[in-house]
Each structure stands twice: as structure tokens, then as C-alpha cells.
Amino acid sequence: MKHRPHSFLIATCAALAAGQFLTPSLKAETQTGAGAGPATGPVTLKDHIKPVMEKYCFDCHNDKKQKGDVNLLSVIDNPKLEDNRKVWEKIADVLEGGDMPPEKKPQPSDGQRDLMIKFIDGQLSKADCKTAAINPGKVTIRRLNREEYRNTIRDLMGVDFNPEDFPNDEVGYGFDNIGDVLSLPPMLMEKYIAAAGRSGAQADRPRHRGETPR
């Protein structure tokens, strides 16, 4: 019984390690001829996705014929799928739904269809921090809310000021620290100035030894 936890841990680690080898990874599986086995390796747009689309998709989605307003020739040679995200998302959706190719047209195998869907989803879900456009959005300059003001006065002056006479903070999306709703009306500005004066006076007054400032 003493060795059971240790044995259980070893067994668990072994099972997890085995699972790593049993987990299916995204590999290319193409038939090059009758009786030929699957060719495995990293999937690329040029070597694995483009040939399938050339066979089943390009006839209806090219420079001259663009069913559904989709021209695959305009995106197929760009390995950065995120540059044409809307097009590739649409492609993945119709492939997954079985809407394309049309029923009367030759169809890719289930393996080929699954391969394309996984490849597209995998590429679009990647995040390249080095090349992605930096757009942090707009930061709104805001005032402190009531609780932040109270904490700031306490940290700076050692005075536990309670802004109970301040108006309630506006709330946006369930939060009271959203800059777009924390306006500073004249009445609140007056209360800020008055509170600063009271807090300063309280911080400067003499205290008895061991007294905690309030």
C-alpha cells in the first residue's frame, strides 16, 4: 500500500505518454496511384491543398467564373491565409457543410475534405505576434471611480477617506471602471477639491503615538 501512489503516478505518466503517440496529427494523405499508400508529412497549401482544389474547385471559382463571388485563383498562392480570412472562412464552411462541390460534381474523398478543413482552421487560428497588425484600440482618459479614489488617498496620505457623498459611478458592461462612462461633471469636480482639502488637513494634524490615521 505504501508504494501505490508512486505506482499510480508512473502508470498515469505512461498512459499520457502513450496518448501522445496515439493522438492523430494533421498529416497529408494522398493517393498517387492504384494501391499506393498514404504519403505523410506536414501539410502545405501548395503541395496538398492546391492540387485538390485544382481538381474539384477551380472550374467554378476562377478569374472568369466566380460562383458565389469566390475566386480561388486570387488567394490560392498566398500562404498567409489570414490575409484573405473571409474567403477562407467561407471555403471551410461550405466544405464542412458538404455544400461544395455541388452534388452533381466530382467530390473529394472524406479524407481530403477533412484535411482541407483542418488545414484552413489551423492556419486561421494561428496568431503571429511579429507580423500581426498592432491595433490596441483607443484608450479613454478617465477619472478614478469612488473606490479607486479612496484607495489612492489612503496610499498617498494614510487617510481612510470615505467618498460617500460622491455621486454613484456610472456602470458600463457591468463594470464601474470603464473610461467611456466615467465622466467628470462640475459638481463632482467640486467634491474632489473639497475632499482633497479635508484629506490633506486630516493627514497634517498631530497624532498620538500609535494612532492609525483615519
Residue 8, pLDDT score: 40
Model confidence band, residue 5 (pLDDT cutoffs 50, 70, 90): very low
- Contact (Cβ atoms closer than 8 angstroms) between residue 57 and residue 100: yes
Residue 128, pLDDT score: 60
Residue 132, pLDDT score: 61
Mean pLDDT of 56-65: 81
Strands (E), the chain: none
**Residues 6+ positions from 119 with CB-CB distance below 8 Å:** 26, 43, 45, 48, 49
3-state secondary structure of 40: coil
Question: What number of CA atoms fall less than 13 Å from residue 207's CA on the CB side?
Answer: 12
Model confidence band, residue 21 (pLDDT cutoffs 50, 70, 90): very low
Assigned C-alpha cell, 44: 502545405
Q: What angle do CA 179, 183, 189 make, to 5 degrees?
A: 130
Assigned C-alpha cell, 51: 492540387
Taking the domains of the chain in order of start, what are their residue ranges?
Answer: 41-128, 146-204
- Contact (Cβ atoms closer than 8 angstroms) between residue 185 and residue 153: no
- Contact (Cβ atoms closer than 8 angstroms) between residue 73 and residue 63: yes
Q: What percent of the chain has pLDDT over 90?
A: 9
Least confident span in 30-34, 90-94, 110-114, 188-192: 30-34
Closest CA to 147 of 124, 168, 132, 129: 168
Least confident span in 18-27, 62-71, 102-111, 181-190: 18-27
Residue 11, pLDDT score: 41
Total-model pTM: 0.44
Model confidence band, residue 6 (pLDDT cutoffs 50, 70, 90): very low
**Residues 6+ positions from 131 with CB-CB distance below 8 Å:** none
Assigned C-alpha cell, 166: 460622491
Q: 175 φ, ψ to 5°? A: -120, 145
Q: Is the pLDDT of residue 115 over 90?
A: yes
